[in-house]
Structure 1
Amino acid sequence: MASFTLYLDETGARHPDRASGLPARSDWFAMGGILVRQEDKVEAKQRRDDIAGKWGVTSPFHMTDMINERSKFSWLGRLTQRERDSFWAEYREFLADVPVIGIGCVIDRAGYRARGYVKKHEDRWLLCRSAFDIVVERSVKYALSKGRQLNVVFESDVAMNPVIEGYFRNLKENGLEFDKSNSGKYQPLSREDFQVTLTSIENSPKENRLLQIADSYIYAIARRGYDKKFDVYRRLIDAKRIIDCLLTKDEVPALGVKYYCFDR
């Protein structure tokens, strides 16, 4: 059976009560990235290699380092403004042209705390548990709508690998565990849907080329919650690379990008 792969990355602080270092107006935790059809993987990887080769990039693309011109991307800060503009214009076009679909769940950490979820869920419900369940469930829904199965690849973190893999097993075995009185309007899937559609999960290092694309996508999706004029996100919308662009208005609440606890 044909499949999608969900390349999953995260941005922000996953602990709801731990300082993130971000200003309150943009204090997010987000998990998500890209859905890629199995037949599009070769092209997506080649497009990533093409832009890396053109600009002499030998380290993994990492959006926060790129924007802040630090670490392996400090060289961006030494470019002229014209060169810098040229790089970002080409990088936006690369992200817009690569054959993938952006998807994610973005949680406003201040809103999460204001709702009392920290005390209610305690350690069992780190922000990444909520975000993982939401983004994987929506990816499963989309895969089902296209007659495909879904496997998951996420960026390796030795401490978190067994935790994330445990979230996956729990979804496959038990389905969603959200409060049914609150989640019913989102048309949650049954346990059987997860068992039929979810196939496998694996962790991969940040050198994985498709995970690097996922990193840029989830950053853009998260930042859009606080900055609707963010140019990378707007270019992805223009190119219809965000899942919301592929859905009807009625489908977006249950299948589209989820902005969670943003109602404050």
Structure 2
Amino acid sequence: MTRLPEYHLFIDDSGSRDPDRRPKLDRNDRMDCFALGGVLVKEEDIDDLKQRHADFCASHGITYPLHSNPIRGGRENFGWLKNPEKARAFFPELDTFMLGLPVLGIAAVIDRAGYVARYKGHYADRLWLMCKTAYCILIERAAKYADSQGRVLRVFFEETGKAEDRALIAYHKSLKEVGMPFDGDNSASYRSLSAADFRRIVMGDAKRRTKETAMIQVADLVLYPMAKAGYDPTYRPYVQLMEAGRLVDAHLKPEDRALLGIKYSCFK
């Protein structure tokens, strides 16, 4: 049997996966979500991505992981970005680096308030952590896209904790054993993959990776703009990624994005 080429999906998360968590601060942008996603990379492009990442970091003397939140806020290792002159030099080069990478961003983004409002009354104390919903949707959509390109899929996620990692691995195994966990009648319009489909397309188990992994850092940098776009689709980094063809939605017909692209769930 001919071996099919692979897409590798590198996953990070953003926000708390607890549905009942209350935001610490009222944000002007109303952003309160859990997002799970990152980047699809063709296996033959992995070495190129690693080299681009190494070259970019070396050019700025960065010996620690690129991390979206500290970069945006000029905090922790990136406190030097509080210097306006250094920031003016860094951010355009970061944009050029990101927009030139051989990646496709994909994610599942769930608005917390909308999720609780939609499901709490029906499931009460059995309300799932949002990561189960997000993971299943994300893997299915990534698998559908890989399959449409004549490729199979391998999944790698950033390790966060023993319990959280075990949960993702369990969700992954369950997709290949029983398929999508959602009510069949309610989800029929989404043309869900079967367990056999997942076994055919998704290779092996989900594997842990640390933040030291270049592809995980890129996943982190791409995930935030995708999540932010659920609240502000004019957010400049998101618009730039779309225009550069670095998000899966840029490669889908507009009418197909709701079923196959970045998933925005429980938004009003």
Q: Which of residues 191, 194, 197 is equivalent to 1:190?
A: 194
Verify the 8 A CA contact 2:152 2:202 in the aligned structure 1. yes
Verify the 8 A CA contact 1:16 1:118 in the aligned structure 2. no
Give the superposed CA RMSD.
1.5
Which aligned pairs between 1:1-264 and structure 2 lie closer than 5 A?
1-21=4-24, 23=26, 25-77=30-82, 79=83, 81-117=84-120, 120=123, 122=125, 125-159=128-162, 160-200=164-204, 201-263=206-268
1: CA distance, partners of 2:26 / 2:165? 28
Letter in 2 for 1:236: L
Verify the 8 A CA contact 1:17 1:118 in the aligned structure 2. no
Verify the 8 A CA contact 2:80 2:86 in the aligned structure 1. no
1:250 deviation in Å?
A: 2.8
Q: What percentage of residue pairs aligned between the two structures are identical?
A: 38
- Residues 172, 22 of structure 1: alpha-carbon distance in 2 compared, 3 angstrom cutoff: farther
Verify the 8 A CA contact 1:5 1:35 in the aligned structure 2. yes
1:244 deviation in Å?
A: 0.6
2: CA distance, partners of 1:38 / 1:118? 44
Letter in 1 for 2:167: V
Q: Give 3-state SS (helix, strand or coil) of 2:186's partner.
A: helix
2: CA distance, partners of 1:37 / 1:118? 42
Between stretches 42-51 and 13-22, larger displacement belongs to: 13-22
Verify the 8 A CA contact 1:34 1:103 in the aligned structure 2. yes
Which ranges in structure 1 are unaligned for 5 or more consecutive residues?
none
1:49 deviation in Å?
A: 1.2
Equivalenced residues, count:
261
1:161 deviation in Å?
A: 1.3
1:123 deviation in Å?
A: 5.2
Letter in 1 for 2:213: N
2: CA distance, partners of 1:152 / 1:33? 11
Letter in 2 for 1:171: L
**Residues 197-255 of structure 1 deviation map (CA, whole Å, 9 limit, x = unaligned):** 11122101110110000001111100111222322111101101110110112321111
1:124 deviation in Å?
A: 6.3
2: CA distance, partners of 1:50 / 1:9? 22
TM-score, scaled to structure 1: 0.94
- Residues 128, 54 of structure 1: alpha-carbon distance in 2 compared, 3 angstrom cutoff: same
1: CA distance, partners of 2:157 / 2:253? 28
Verify the 8 A CA contact 2:10 2:37 in the aligned structure 1. yes
1:86 deviation in Å?
A: 2.4
1: CA distance, partners of 2:243 / 2:119? 37
TM-score, scaled to structure 2: 0.93
Which ranges in structure 2 are unaligned for 5 or more consecutive residues?
none
1:181 deviation in Å?
A: 2.4
1:158 deviation in Å?
A: 2.8
